């Protein structure tokens, strides 16, 4: 089975989310193969799960002063600050064996990444179940691992969230390269002193710390692609976006992901204009 691996890119929060939704719709309509992409965020951004409360006016003011972008994801889960990391988006579906239930599909993808990290010399584990984070930092994805998310030395390395639409799925994930608590201390600025002074840092680990070095980005991506290939039976071949996907992503960015209507809402109602949503995905996301 052949899948498409898109080249590394960086984008704003709205562009990244618009492109990922465009890829999902393209796959679901039979216009594209299963697709994997790794990307970064410029400027640094906070993404919120689509069920989370939007930022209030004071938070938005602090974000603007700090030069931090923010956007609502189409996927569920909790808040992720994207800075020094590899973000991935995987689009696939029933044709590739993702027939559910949700937790089983999470596990398949998690096992693929586990194989990939092993190729880098890193032993990681799949979290056995969701743990409830406490306190005001409970809104942060990396405050606690959820089902089949990857941990190293008991600390969270990868946070994931999923959206199921029809017979297709989109899974987002953030792979930390390093963790800098400045955002949670200085910008989020809602946590009590004990949490601001390292509570979250004790719960997360970046790839640099876990390995004692940071491999080249291309080497990390190659290893993770190989691990996913071995687990999912998908051979990832380099490919490009279609003109139709680029056009759809541009429209979604302009009409949806930069709009107050989307970013200030709570929930997926009207996500695709037809009322369908991703049942159960919120329960299995971090």
* Residues annotated catalytic, as ranges: 141
Phi/psi of residue 52, nearest 5 degrees: -80, 155
Of 229, 231, 213, nearest in space to 221 by CA:
229
The encoded tokens of residue 61 equal: 């003011």
20/192 Cα distance (integer angstroms): 35
The H helix count followed by the E strand count for the chain is 9, 13
Report how far apart the first and last C-alpha atoms of the chain are (Å, whole number): 29
Alpha carbon distance 187, 185 (integer Å): 6
**115 close to 61: Cβ distance less than 8 angstroms:** no
């Amino acid at each position: 089975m052949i899948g498409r691996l898109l080249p590394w890119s960086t984008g704003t929060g709205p562009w990244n989310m618009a492109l990922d939704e465009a890829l999902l719709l393209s796959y679901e309509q039979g216009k594209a193969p299963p697709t994997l992409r790794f990307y970064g965020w410029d400027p640094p951004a906070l993404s919120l799960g689509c069920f989370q409360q939007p930022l209030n006016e004071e938070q938005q003011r602090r974000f603007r002063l700090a030069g931090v972008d923010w956007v609502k994801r189409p996927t569920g889960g909790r808040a992720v600050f994207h800075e020094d990391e590899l973000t991935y988006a995987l689009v696939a579906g029933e044709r590739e064996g993702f027939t559910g239930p949700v937790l089983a599909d999470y596990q398949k993808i998690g096992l693929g990444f586990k194989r990939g990290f092993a190729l880098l010399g890193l032993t990681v584990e799949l979290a056995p179940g969701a743990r409830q984070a406490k306190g005001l930092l409970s809104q942060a994805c990396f405050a606690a691992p959820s089902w089949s998310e990857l941990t190293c030395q008991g600390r969270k390395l990868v946070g994931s969230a999923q959206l199921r639409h029809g017979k297709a799925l989109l899974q987002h994930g953030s792979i930390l390269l390093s963790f800098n608590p400045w955002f949670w201390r200085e910008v989020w600025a809602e946590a009590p002193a004990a949490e601001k002074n390292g509570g979250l840092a004790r719960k997360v680990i970046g790839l640099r710390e876990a390995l004692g070095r940071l491999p080249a980005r291309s080497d990390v991506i190659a290893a993770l692609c190989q691990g996913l290939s071995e687990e999912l039976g998908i051979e990832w071949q380099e490919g490009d976006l279609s003109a139709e996907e680029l056009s759809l992503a541009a429209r979604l960015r302009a009409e949806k992901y930069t709009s107050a209507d989307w970013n200030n809402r709570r929930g997926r109602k009207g996500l695709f204009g037809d009322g369908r949503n991703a049942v159960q995905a919120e329960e299995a996301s971090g």
